[in-house]
């Protein structure tokens, strides 16, 4: 179990009012092929054989588009990492026709049956995989630790 003997939650979230605001310090643009850790939570585990960690996450992705009603496409790799090792991945590409478009990558539930003893750092990592401007806006990452 973790430090506590009953289930507990560690979470991190960032709220952004305007996903297209390049002046908001919580908004950042993904460069093609560059991975960015967009949120992290640390969970302490003292009995890994008796502990499970569930992870829930969400990221709001904004794409400015090219305007004029022309088709556009973006690609994104969305990963959950435990201590730097990827434990879950979504690879997605989306075509759209719009001047501005934003979507939420919904709850991406993951169960870690194998947490390490000590501190486990869970990272939410996004990587742009297509040559389009991708903006990371609001996001959340929640780890629930419970005994088995």
The structure's pTM equals 0.86
Closest CA to 10 of 136, 115, 88: 115
Contact between 104 and 60 (Cβ < 8 Å): yes
Give me the residue spans of the domains in the chain. Answer: 8-147
Q: What is the pLDDT of residues 31-60, one digit of tens each?
A: 888 889 999 999 999 889 999 999 999 998
Q: What is the pLDDT of residues 8-19, one digit of tens each?
A: 889 999 999 888
- The fold of 8-147 is Jelly Rolls (2.60.120)
- Rounded Cα distance between 80 and 9, Å, is 17
Cα 60-64-65 angle, rounded to 5 deg: 120
**Which is it for strands 118-128 and 8-14: parallel, antiparallel or unpaired?**
unpaired
């Amino acid at each position: 179990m973790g430090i506590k003997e009953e289930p507990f939650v560690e979470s991190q979230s960032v709220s952004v009012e305007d996903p297209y605001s390049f002046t908001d310090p919580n908004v950042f643009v993904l460069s093609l092929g560059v991975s960015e850790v967009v949120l992290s939570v640390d969970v302490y585990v003292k009995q890994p054989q008796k502990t499970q960690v569930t992870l829930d996450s969400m990221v709001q992705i904004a794409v400015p588009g090219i305007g004029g009603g022309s088709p556009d496409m973006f690609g994104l790799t969305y990963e959950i990492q435990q201590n730097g090792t990827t434990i879950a991945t979504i690879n997605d590409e989306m075509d759209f026709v719009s001047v501005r478009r934003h979507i939420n990558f919904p709850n991406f539930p993951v169960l870690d049956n194998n947490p390490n003893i000590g501190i486990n750092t869970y990272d939410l990592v996004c990587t742009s995989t297509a040559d389009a401007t991708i903006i990371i806006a609001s996001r959340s990452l929640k780890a629930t630790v419970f005994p088995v």
